[in-house]
Structure 1
Amino acid sequence: MRARWFSLPFIVSFLILMCFILLVINFFELSWMQMEHNKFHHAQQTYPAAASIPRPLNDMMKKPIYSVFARHSEAGHLRHVYDVFDVYGYTKKPLESDPDWNVLWAHEYPFKTLADKIVFSNLKPYQKVNHFPGIGFISNKVDLATSDIKYIPPAFQMPSQKSKFLSYAKKYPNKFFVQKQNNHRGIKIKSSTELDFNSTGSFIQEYIDNPLLIDGYKFDIGVYTIITSIDPLRVYMYNGDILFRFCPEKYHPFDPNNVDKYVIGDDYLPTWNVPSLKKYYVDQGASMKVSVESHLKTLNKDATKIWNQLEDAIRVICLEKEPLIKNLMKNYKSKTNFFEMARFDFVVDDNLNVFIMEVNMSPNLSSAHYPQNRLLYEQVLFNLFALVGLTHFERKKDSNKMIVSMKNIVAYPKHCSEIDCNTCQSEDCKLCLPCIDSEIERQLTNAYREHIDRHDCKRIFPPTFERRLLVNSSNDLSRYNQKNQLMYKWFKGKCIEDVEWC
């Protein structure tokens, strides 16, 4: 039989030859890569500009760093915070290991505890801290409740306002009261004989005894609020959804000894278990806010009245407390290193009147208890990061004008062209090009970037406008300080130019 040309010896010889050829090719490829590496390394030393040749991201630039200040930081309550930092490519490092961090995420108030580790009054321009010095003027429950501000039920600090409370209780003998402290634990309706008038650091507050009910359950409303600037003040709310929490037991028949009927605890009744809301939230995939709004429409109640009051209450409180925070921040070199994300908690009565209960400085963002809340928390954080500039990774100083230039921030160009602004003394000239100094330019640049990066956040202050009412309208801004007036006028001018800014 004639031998076949593809005999075993031939195949073995062929495979050996191919392996040899591949080894030779690999050798020359490695030699070429080494030669190119040496040339590039030499170019970096001889010609520094050569370093701008594109390289892999991790080699080309240092990844942004965040540090955390929290008790039991790995316990899980900051899991979603870590996840969002990871989405944006941050590296987590302890404060002690690298002082050149980009973001300090503090679950507790950091300015006293970390004073020996961080000089907060002299931070670098790119460093951000997730609290404002003095935010306790808003989040401290005693200070807030006894501020005599619209939307806050009457409250009396103990023991200093004992006589004032007794006069009020005598005037309204049928009202209920609760006694609270900053730790928010143990809230219960009490009679005047059960109240502790000598409890320092506590306050007695009128109880809203006619709450709006859904399917018989009392609820509260949590609005995630972001403060991006103090003096001038800029405040936003996360508008993608609002947190609704329901008491686990129906309100009626009312029993003051059963706190599950009127106090929202950790084991609250979630929206998806409220029968009238489930068909919107679960079956139709609507938000909590839209689910409640849809239900109220079936009762001929207009939820817009609630939403408008929520926004106004946040605005009123931030404006009232801003001077106190501003005064404390005089000790800090820059006010642009700080931002705040808090949750304002409200109750609503059966006439759709809104009352603020408290402001949480570091609100719960853990979905461990209710996994269904994960998306809400992640979206709140995603929007927060964008709004306050935690996603800005420009590496060159000269890139700033690419993002925001003077033509982006000028307002009222027609008006400014018709008036004399040579001296810049007139208030009408403050936003005209010759009168925009470096401080005003910086604030307007920050406001511009917030606006284009706000995603699903809504501006609370300066307030939004109805464009059709603006052109010939004038507003009394005397209640605002000078910087807030200027910021208000700037947003108004941008709104007149473009409805998207309203």
Structure 2
Amino acid sequence: MEVTKEMITDSNKITTAESKMDKVHTKTKLSNKQSDKYSAQYFTFLSKETCIAVTIVLIAIIAVLTFSFKEYAKCFIEKEQSNIRKYWVYGKNVKSGHLNNVFLVLDRLGYKEYSNATDWDLLWAHDYPFRAIPSKLINLKPHQKVNKMPGSAYITSKVDLVTSGLKYIPPAFRLPKDKQKLLEYAEKNPNVQFVQKNNNHRNIFIRKIDEIDMEKEGTFVQEFVDKPLLVNGYKFDIGVFTIFTSVDPLRMYIYNGESGLRFCAAPYYPFNASNVDKYVVGDNYLPLWEVPEIEYFYNTLGFNMKESLNAYLRSKNKNPDVIWEQIEDSLRIVGLAKEQHIIAAMKEYPSKRSFFEMMRFDFVVTEDLKVYLMEANMSPNLSSAHFTANQILFEQVIFNLFGLVGIGERTTRNTVVTGLEQEMQVADKNIVVFPTECNSSTCRTSCVSPLCQLCRPCLSDETKMTLKQAYIEHVNRGDCKRIFPPSMKPEKLEEDLKQYSAENQLHYRWFQGKCLLDASWCV
């Protein structure tokens, strides 16, 4: 094949082109290497900036989450704490053990002790608080409750009670003020013996009239109740736990599930006035479960002290109902007589619904079943340290007390009750009474008639609140028995209520109205 001049020229052109392409390729390689170098430097720089930015963002997110968690935890804790009901204790030596049963029941009900003297749901005062800490009690919130009533000392003061001249209380004379009255009474009753006491109810001895120190301040002399009812030869007293939930109107209850029975340490006969263990129930009293003629009912058959006494008396052909009827009547008389003192003392406080009080009234019984009231104890012993067998008694007393006054509620709640929650427990429909009378033309047009005053259109907000509180007490009363207003019969309702205050008359009639609708309200 002949190589032409044109072919050589084309070959040279191709070689030249390839050479140029190689140069371009070489330059491209160099350019790519430089580009990779710059990219690496760029991405290295970018990675550092990104890492810093990401780190900052992560730190910010963690900080926000941490803060949010703390706020959530704080809200959760605050919510949990708001659901915890708190109590505050006032008194001397409250940690000595004598209130352990109170603390135990409160703990079981979900209450926690609180040291703050203002933010609490219950104040348990062992001592009378109204003189010592008035500033803590003058502005109570609606949900706060105090286990003492202003003015209740008119009942629990020994000398004030026994010198009141009320039925069922043995005659007593304040010295030296009533010295002349005492001498005149002794002259008219030469066979009567006396005991001289002080307000602490200590150092009690039987004395003849000429042995009494007539000038001793702070003491009183009281007629000695002789011929007591004996069980197995021992004199005893009956302690009845009594609860005041309201005054103006007055509502009183007793703990009906049990009564405390304490026997003198020594047999009554042969009688010896110098041996006080024969006629005074002291700290070393004989417990019922060690009294032979009655212990079988308690220890073996399992009855409580009250029912053991009832069974024993029936076995002796005696009617125990006579005793309990007198006891309830005595308590009503005291409550009504002292109510005005409590009302007057309570006027210093915004709401009378903030207070309740449980006392123990002590009675003795004579051989002919006459009952005498001896004293009322402001802060009754609720400790089972001396006799552990009393623990269940005191726990049940405390538990029923708290249920009655709304401290041991059936609902778990915040300290502040909402309107809907309140209506869930009691609404207007639960307190209306006398449907026929309220439908009459008289009550449709006027609220003047006593019965019309209880018709729903005539009820004030204050009266509604009072009746709703009474309704809740009735529902939650447990083993507590209402003694004022007293038991009633639907077929024989008392109409003459003039001996009572206007508020007590209205309240009494309301209970009558409830009794007519539901027999459980009659007792």
TM over 0.5: yes
The residue that corresponds to 1:85 in the other structure is: 106
Deviation at 1:468, TM superposition (A): 3.5
Q: Name the residue aligned to 1:295.
A: 312
Distance 2:80 2:385 in 1: 37
Could you tell me which residue of structure 2 aligns to residue 65 of structure 1? Answer: 86
Unaligned segments of structure 2, at least 5 residues: 1-60
**Contact 2:83–2:413 (8 Å) recurs in 1:** no
Q: 1:379 is matched with which residue: 396, 408, 428?
A: 396
Counterpart Cα distance in 2 of 1:489 and 1:426: 12
* 2:406 match: 389
Matched-pair contact (CA < 8 Å) for 1:237–1:460: yes
Check if 1:229 corresponds to 2:246: yes
Which of residues 488, 491, 497 in structure 1 aligns to 2:511? 491
Matched, 1:459 2:482: yes
489-498 or 391-400: bigger deviation: 391-400
Partner of residue 131 from structure 2, selected from 112, 116, 119: 112
**1:442 paired to 2:459:** no
In 2: Cα distance, 1:141 partner to 1:493 partner: 38
Percent sequence identity over matched residues? 48
Q: Closer, same or farther in 2 for the Cα pair 1:468/1:104, shift >3 Å?
A: same
C-alpha distance in structure 1 between counterparts of 2:218 and 2:390, whole Å: 33
Cα deviation digits, residues 145-195 of structure 1 (max 9, x gap) = 000100000111111110111011011111110011111110010111221
Change (3 A) 1:446 1:198: same
Task: Choose the corresponding residue for 2:374, options 342, 346, 357.
Answer: 357
Tell me whether 282-291 or 107-116 shows the greater mean CA deviation.
Answer: 107-116
Secondary structure of the residue aligned to 2:226 is coil
Matches within 5 A, 1:126-145: 126-145=143-162
Aligned residue for 2:437? 415
**TM-score when normalising by structure 2:** 0.83
Give yes or no for contact 1:221–1:242 (8 Å, CA) kept in 2.
Answer: yes
- Deviating beyond 4 angstroms after TM superposition, the runs of 4 or more aligned structure 1 residues are 55-58
| Structure 1 segments unaligned to the other structure (5+ residues) | 1-33, 46-50
Q: Which of 372, 376, 383 is the equivalent residue of 1:366?
A: 383
- Offset at residue 419 of structure 1 (A): 3.5
> How far has the Cα of 1:58 moved from its partner?
6.9
Do structure 1's residue 167 and structure 2's residue 184 form an aligned pair?
Answer: yes
Q: CA deviation at 1:76?
A: 0.4
Count of residue correspondences: 452
- Give the aligned partner of residue 213 of structure 1: 230
1:427 Cα shift?
1.8
Deviation of 1:98 after TM superposition, in Å, equals 5.0
Once the two structures are superposed, what CA deviation does each residue of 1:258-278 show, in whole Å capped at 9, x if it has no partner?
000000000100000000111
Equivalent position of 2:421 in the other structure: 399
Query: Taking structure 1 as reference, are residues 261 and 413 closer, same or farther at Cα in structure 2, changes over 3 Å only?
Result: same
Task: Work out whether residues 122 and 334 of structure 1, in 8 Å CA contact, stay in contact via their aligned partners in 2.
Answer: no
The CA deviation string for residues 98-138 of structure 1, in whole angstroms up to 9 with x for no partner, is 5211111111000111125x1x2321111111000000110
Question: In the alignment, is the contact (CA less than 8 A) between 1:106 and 1:130 conserved in 2?
Answer: yes
Which stretch has the larger CA shift, 259-268 or 460-469?
460-469
Deviations 1:332-360 (Å, cap 9, x if unpaired)?
11100000000000000011000000000
Please give the TM-score of this superposition, normalised by the length of structure 1: 0.87
Q: Which amino acid aligns with 1:426?
A: S
Return 249-258 or 415-424, whichever deviates more.
415-424
Q: Is the 8 A contact 2:437 2:452 kept in 1?
A: no
Per-residue deviation, residues 228-256 of structure 1 (Å, max 9, x unmatched): 00110000000001100000110001000
Q: Find the partner of 2:172 among 130, 141, 155.
A: 155
- What is the distance in 2 between the residues matched to 1:226 and 1:38? 54
Show CA shifts across 1:259-316 (max 9, x none): 0000000010000000011110000110101111111111110000001111111111
Cα displacement (A) at 1:61: 3.6
Partner in structure 1 of residue 452 of structure 2: 429
1:289-368 equivalences under 5 Å are 289-368=306-385
SS in structure 2 opposite 1:178? strand
More helix by share: 2
Q: Distance in 1 between matches of 2:240 and 2:408?
A: 23
Partner of 1:198: 215
Kept in 2: contact 1:121–1:334 (CA 8 A): no
